[in-house]
Amino acid sequence: MADVLAPLAGKVLDVLVQVGSKVEEDDELVVIEALKMENTVYAPAGGTVKEIKVKKGDSVADEELLLVID
C-alpha cells in the first residue's frame, strides 16, 4: 500500500489514472500546477489505484493525500 502525497501546494490540473488502473513505478499519476509550472506526480511503486482523493481543479496543500496505490 502506498499513499501518494502532494509534493507541494498547488492546483490539480489533471488526474491521469482512475480507480482500478494498474500502474508501474514512475508512471504519471497527477499533474499539479505550482511555481508557475505543471508538475507531474509519479507513482512511487507499482500496483492498482485503490482510491483517488482529488479531482481536476482542486487546490491541494503540501503533503495532502492525492491517491492510494494498493
Residues near other proteins (CB under 8 A) are: 7-8, 16, 26-28, 31, 33, 35-40
The minimum distance between CB 26 and other proteins, in angstroms, equals 8
Least distance between other proteins and beta carbon 50 (Å)? 19
Q: Which cell goes with 51?
A: 482510491
Give the chain as a DSSP string: -EEEE-SSSEEEEEE---TT-EE-TT-EEEEEEETTEEEEEE-SS-EEEEEE---TT-EE-TT-EEEEE-
Q: Measured from the CB atom, is 7 or 47 closer to other proteins? A: 7
| Nearer Cβ to other proteins (39/58) | 39
Residue 55: CB minimum distance to other proteins, A: 17
